[in-house]
Amino acid sequence: MKSMAIFLLLTLSLFRLGHSQTEFTSDSDFLYNQSTMDRLSLIVDSLNIRYRSCGYERDYLSLPQAMGHYFYLKTNHAHEIAKEMDNGMSFEDFEKKYKKATIHQDHLIVQFSYVNYKGDSVLEYSTIAINTYSGFEIARTPKNAMPVESAGKCMYEINEKGPYSDENIRGFFFTTNIEQTKLNEHYAGQIQYADCMVDTTASMYLKNADYERYSDTLPTPVTRFIEYVDRETNRPTYPENYKDTNLVKQYYAGNRLWYEERFRIIDEVLIPKKGLIDSLNGAIAYAIENGKSNEDLEQYAGKYHSKDMMLNLMRSRKVMGQCSMDDRPRMHAKEIAELSAEIANWEVFLRSHLDLMNDRFERMSDGSYAQPRRQTYIKELEALDINTVDLLLGISLRYQDPHPNHYFGSISRLGRALSESSKRDQFIEEIKAMCADTTLDDFNRVLAYFLLLNQAHHRQEDSEKEMAMKDAYDSVHLLPSHFVRRFEAARTKD
């Protein structure tokens, strides 16, 4: 029955969501009220001063990358072919001998490093996808990574025959050495500005944060405290006959009244009784230690403990979206951003606000039809006198050995933010300069171009969008020739 109540609550919230014109409502033009914006502006002023006083801190190297050809061959002799490659077979010899192989020439191959879900270090060699069919990758461990002097060498992967797949061999023939490029001081400064604004020692969630759950069966200090307050303040219970629409309407009306009256009842009836605050403190301690907070406890902590503790509880609770239209993850992040802004916790505020901008939330599913209504809120950052050009481009650049907590933005979402920016023309000028900059590594030049495409795609007016897309397509010639050829070939196929 409780799961049915949760389902109906979610359904009603989605009904309201579908009929609203904006994602969140506010009394001002911004997501946060003016007094909060004023407090945040003071913090930005001090951070800008601190950044200007900082020197050049470190060198930033591009991700390792090389040029090469991708191949795929369905065969019953994959291991024999692999031996030929180990013995130095050239790409030309492979192409002549195995004419049935599928070959894609002149790809940029980028080496990414990460730790997988098993805790193993992985090196992934990937090409850049122009469309759904043109991205290829092979994963290796650091022990069998490609050597820097890789020109003429081959990396392959054998897939054995299975019940639903044939034996095959696929991989890359490298035509250039794997190289890294030092990012110049301009790009290094943008990365440093991003790290100055987005504190790399902070995170939105606490280390032991856990996902909220509605099905805990064993009583805890949290559930006992909430149940006690609910009972003593006469919180309505959801009707067992949930098909009776009148009873359901009465429940929601009573619940709204309870929300309005509960703190008065607590103040007048429960606070005079001894033990309530002790029980609240016990529930808070348990929730913080075990990541078992909930929205009610957070509100009580904000009222009867402190706003700082309320924020800590909110940061101990993660919200998983159940479907594309479930806005609870974004609402939770918005409430964290609002509260951290209110108490001037800049580190948590900016990360939560950037998560809203980048739509960095977990959902069971996420259809594209739900994405347009999710706003980017770039105007709040611009109103705070943040150098949004350096900040957003700083979190767009990819490089080797970032700080473990460096904030990397979503190219698609950042492109949309740029389309809504009051500094859009400045962004476009800077991005085109990045595309044309032969001192910048090819991967970052291509990412800059994807930013340009995305900002054009997200223009609101059709006529404006058409002109912006034409300008973006024309600008592809600023990029390396190998990418221009593939991009134009992909457009021809489309």
376 located within any domain: no
121-127 and 102-115 as β-strands: parallel, antiparallel, unpaired?
Answer: antiparallel
> What mean pLDDT do residues 130-139 have?
75
- pLDDT tens track for 289-327: 988 899 999 999 999 999 999 999 999 999 988 887 788
- The model's confidence at residue 487, banded by pLDDT at 50, 70 and 90, is confident
Among 174, 199, 225, identify where a domain stops: 174
Find, among 259, 240, 72, the residue nearest to 158 by Cα: 72
Cα(390)–Cα(194) distance, integer angstroms: 7
H or E, element range at 272 = none
Cα(183)–Cα(187) distance, integer angstroms: 6
Among 174, 207, 232, identify where a domain stops: 174
Structural domain harbouring 96: 65-174
Angle at 41 between CA 38 and CA 44, to 5 degrees: 160
Same domain, 338 and 223: yes
The answer to whether the CB of 403 falls within 8 A of the CB of 68 is no
Query: Can you give the pLDDT at residue 1?
Result: 38
The answer to whether the CB of 453 falls within 8 A of the CB of 464 is no
**What average pLDDT does the chain have?**
88
Residue 161, phi-psi category: left (phi > 0), alpha (psi -120 to 50), beta (remainder): beta
> What mean pLDDT do residues 244-265 have?
93
H or E, element range at 216 = none
Same domain, 228 and 366: yes
483 located within any domain: no
The answer to whether the CB of 59 falls within 8 A of the CB of 106 is no
Same domain, 271 and 320: yes
Specify the long-range contacts of residues 453-459, CB closer than 8 Å, at least 24 apart: 453/415, 454/411, 454/412, 454/414, 454/415, 454/416, 454/418, 454/419, 455/415, 455/416, 455/418, 455/419, 455/424, 455/427, 455/428, 456/419, 457/415, 457/419, 458/415, 458/416, 458/419, 458/420, 459/419
Same domain, 354 and 268: yes
Number of domains in the chain: 2
The answer to whether the CB of 181 falls within 8 A of the CB of 173 is no
H or E, element range at 451 = helix 442-457
- pLDDT tens track for 352-382: 999 999 988 876 555 554 556 678 889 999 9
186 located within any domain: no
